[in-house]
Structure 1
Amino acid sequence: MLATTLSFENLHVHGELLVKLLKARRQCFIVQNKWNLPEAEGMEYDQYDTPASRWIAVHDGGDVLAGIRLTPTTARCGMYSYMIRDAQKGMLDAIPTDLLDFEAPVDVNIWESSRVFISNKVPASSRTRVQAELMNQLIATSRELGATKVLGLVPAVWSRWIGRLGLVAEPAGPVMEMDGARVQVALMDLSKTKH
């Protein structure tokens, strides 16, 4: 099992890994969760998949087991910035505006994690290992990018597994029901994380 961070600068080194990641996202979010999201050629994508973002893929052989997208909170692409901030500004119909307990930050030291998933192909006996690999790569990549905090809209069960992975985070908004899933914004402090 490997964890790879992809960017527009290194895509050529990793072959079809980004394509496989976007196909795995489609399987998770569109097929399984039945979310109404953009798709093309079997891949899920949105306006935040830009050269400013990074994508983390946990993969084994040819299969993507898990993934995350990282976007700087300073990102700008036309009228869009990053998903949590744009939702708070009322720009995204599918996400409530009251998802955060404070004004969405615009800070070079804070990155957003979004599109977090673990494939349903991962057996229960391997999920913790895959989660740990995903989070370790998230922390390493975030630190390399200069982040001290990561803000993410994640499944509301995050508090159950984050401690056992040695991570420190706090709720940053209310638990919400979105498209049949319970989600919450969490803020991870990388300075307090033991990794």
Structure 2
Amino acid sequence: MQTTTLSFANMHNHGELFANLLRARKESFITQKKWDLPEALGMEYDQYDTPASRWIAVHDFTDVLAGIRLTPTTATCGIYSYMIRDAQRGLLGTIPRDLLEAEAPVDDNVWECSRVFVSNKTPLANRLKIHSAMIMAMTKSARELGASKIIALTAASWPMWTKRCGLETDAIGRKVFIDDGDYQCVSINLSDNLH
């Protein structure tokens, strides 16, 4: 098992890995969860998959086991910025506008984590190991990008997994029901807690 942080600058060095990550996202979000998201050529994508973002793949060679997207909160692409902020601004009809307690940050030191998944093909016995590898790669990559904080809209069960991963995490919004369950915005502090 490997972790790779992909960017537009390095994805050419990793063959089909980026395309396979988007294929795994389609399987996870569209096929399994039945979310209404854009897709093409068997891949899920959206307006936040731009050169500003980074993608973390947990994989065995080209078989993607899990993934995460990191986007700077300073990103812009047309009318869009990043998912949590755009939801708060009313640009995303599927996510409630009042998902945060305060105004969404626009800060060089804050990155958003989104499109987090673990493949349903991953055996249950390996999920904790894969989840841990994914979180370690996320925090390492975010720090290398200059982040001292990550914000995410995640399953409302976040206190269980963040504690296991040793993350310093706080709720920054109310629980909201979206598509298939309860979600909540959280802030992950990267400045004090080095892995």
Which residue of 2 is the match for residue 190 of structure 1? 190
Structure 1, gaps ≥5 residues long: none
2:143 corresponding residue in structure 1: 143
SS in 2 for 1:134: helix
Structure 1 segment 21-40 matched on structure 2, within 5 A: 21-40=21-40
Aligned pair count? 195
Q: Equivalents in 2 of 1:153, 1:180: separation in Å?
A: 14
In structure 1, what is the Cα distance between the partners aligned to 2:36 and 2:158?
Answer: 23
Structure 2 counterparts to residues 144-183 of structure 1, below 5 A: 144-183=144-183
**1:9-48 → structure 2 map (5 Å cutoff):** 9-48=9-48
Match status 1:75 vs 2:75: yes
Q: TM-score, normalised by structure 1?
A: 0.98
Letter in 2 for 1:104: A
Alpha-carbon offset, residue 183 of structure 1: 1.1
Cα distance between partner residues in 2 of 1:90 and 1:51: 24
Query: Quick one: distance in 1 between partners of 2:170 and 2:177?
Result: 19
Q: What does 1:94-105 align with in structure 2 at a 5 Å threshold?
A: 94-105=94-105
State the distance in 2 between where 1:62 and 1:88 align: 36
Distance 1:81 1:191 in 2: 24
Q: Output the aligned Cα RMSD.
A: 0.8
One-letter amino acid of the structure 2 residue matched with residue 164 of structure 1: R
CA contact (8 A) 1:167 1:194 kept: no
SS at match of 2:131: helix
Per mean C-alpha deviation after superposition, the further-off stretch among 43-52 and 152-161 is 152-161
Cα offsets for 1:22-69 (capped at 9, x unmatched)? 000000000000000000000000000000000000001331010000
Deviation, structure 1 residue 93 = 0.4
1:118 corresponds to: 118
SS of 1:163's partner is: helix
| Partner-residue secondary structure (3-state), 1:191 | coil
Give 3-state SS (helix, strand or coil) of 1:132's partner: helix
**2:16, 2:62 within 8 Å by CA — same for their partners in 1?**
no
The residue type equivalent to 1:96 in the other structure is P
Q: Aligned equivalents of 1:176 and 1:124: distance in 2?
A: 27
TM-score, L = length of structure 2: 0.98
Quote the residue 2:90 is aligned against: 90
What is the distance in 1 between the residues matched to 2:182 and 2:193?
25
Alignment partners' CA distance in 2, 1:172 and 1:124: 30
* C-alpha distance in structure 2 between counterparts of 1:154 and 1:192, whole Å: 22
Q: Which amino acid aligns with 1:156?
A: A
List runs of 5+ in structure 2 lacking aligned partners.
none
2:142 partner SS: helix
